[in-house]
Amino acid sequence: MEETYLLNVEGVKKKILHGGQGELPKLQDGSKITFHFQTLKDDFERTVIDDSREAGIPMEIIVGKMFKLEIWETLLSSMRTGEVAEFWCDAIHTGMYALVSRGMRRIAEGRDPLEGQKHRCGMGNMFDYHSTGYDDLDELQRTPQPLIFILELFRVEEPSAYKRDTWAMSKEEKLAAVPVLHSEGNRLVLRKEFGQAAAKYQEAVICLRNLQAKEKPWEDGWLKLESLVTPLVLNYCQCQLELGEYYEVLEHTTELLQKHNDNAKAYFKRAKAHAAVWNEREAREDFLRVAHLDPSMAAAVKKELKQLGERMRKKHVEDRKRYQGLFQPPQG
């Protein structure tokens, strides 16, 4: 089978090492491709640079989502399921490999692939990488060169055939996913599965924040998305209260109130978190603000203030007993 083919791409040669089955897959935007890869230098020793089998996890890419090494989509589109093929690619196609490999290695090591990256344009970030942290990749970055990729294609899944991560969704898909995630979160709350519910609310918020990042702050599009974010954040905070993650609640409610300082529900949840961590003054201030903003919550506020007073009195009694014991003289 080891016949060399010229793909209709300059600087690429293909050699089939093991034939696949079926027809060539029809790739479309959003298709997920799962495969193993091995990257070799084009030298006498065919030095191995990377091998996904060593990590034990196949590689996955989403078609049309601007994967930095665009040539891989082209190579995989020429393969059948189960096929193993070797591709020689000229340096015009491999210039970004060092950065791609750096990210993949960091993920395999359990590290953040963007660690140390500044928020700049793509070309700007290239110049920020004085070193990738790996000697062999630094060499590739200094002197781009032809590389050999040995790929084994496992499967190609259509966009509707798998649950896509948030980053891989289109704008329309993100908007459609939000009410579904919101509903799933509510269902989990009724079953008192607060950890899983919080994850659903958080995923929905991420969808909306990604969309918001493309809008101008405080204009109509941004405000419309913000109106969807707010109840999700409040639901997330309620789950965190149930889970005892009070400082998480303080962080998110405070961030919310910096934008919407008249949200009584946010003050109420922050007050409960303050009360739970013994911030009496802050809790009272927030509870009183709730009653001022929403008189319909006055009864709930009165109940919470009563409970707070009882808890604080009990704590003061316990503290006095503890401190008295410290200063009592030892018995003769």
- Do 149 and 179 sit in the same domain of this protein? no
CA distances from 229 to 42, 135, 185, 304 (A): 51, 44, 14, 27
Helices (H), 192-278: 194-212, 220-243, 246-259, 264-276
Domain membership of residue 332 (yes or no) is no
Q: Given a cut of 90, is residue 182 above it in pLDDT?
A: yes
> What pLDDT is attached to residue 114?
47
Domain membership of residue 166 (yes or no) is no
Q: Given a cut of 80, is residue 329 above it in pLDDT?
A: no
- Do 99 and 179 sit in the same domain of this protein? no
Indicate the pLDDT class of residue 285, thresholds 50, 70 and 90. very high
- Do 183 and 152 sit in the same domain of this protein? no
Domain boundary among 157, 181, 206: 157
Compute φ and ψ for 131, nearest 5 degrees.
Answer: -145, 140
Q: Given a cut of 60, is residue 124 above it in pLDDT?
A: no
If one counts every other C-beta atom within 10 angstroms of the C-beta of residue 279, the result is 17
- Do 141 and 240 sit in the same domain of this protein? no
d(CA 309, CA 206): 38
> What pLDDT is attached to residue 312?
87
Domain that holds residue 81: 5-118+125-157
CATH number at residue 137: 3.10.50.40
Query: Which residues are CB-contacts of 183 (< 8 A; sequence separation ≥ 6)?
Result: none
- Do 9 and 152 sit in the same domain of this protein? yes
Domain membership of residue 163 (yes or no) is no
CA distances from 95 to 67, 101, 174, 211 (A): 13, 11, 33, 31
Average pLDDT value for the chain: 85
CA distances from 158 to 2, 26, 28, 174, 175 (A): 30, 9, 8, 17, 20
Least confident of 25-29, 134-138, 249-253, 289-293: 25-29
Q: What's the total number of domains in the chain?
A: 2
Q: Which position has the higher pLDDT, 8 or 161?
A: 8
Q: Which position has the higher pLDDT, 110 or 24?
A: 24
Residues 167-184 have a mean pLDDT of 82
d(CA 274, CA 218): 30
Indicate the pLDDT class of residue 25, thresholds 50, 70 and 90. confident
Domain membership of residue 162 (yes or no) is no
Indicate the pLDDT class of residue 3, thresholds 50, 70 and 90. low
d(CA 154, CA 273): 49
CA distances from 256 to 80, 175, 194, 240 (A): 50, 21, 21, 15
Q: How buried is residue 140: exposed, middle or buried, by Cβ count under 10 Å (0-12/13-18/19+)?
A: buried
What pTM was computed for the model? Answer: 0.55
- Do 153 and 96 sit in the same domain of this protein? yes
Q: Which two tokens stand for residue 41?
A: 């230098």
E-strand stretches of the chain: 4-6, 12-18, 32-41, 48-51, 59-62, 84-89, 147-157
Q: How far apart are the first and last CA of the chain?
A: 97
CATH number at residue 237: 1.25.40.10
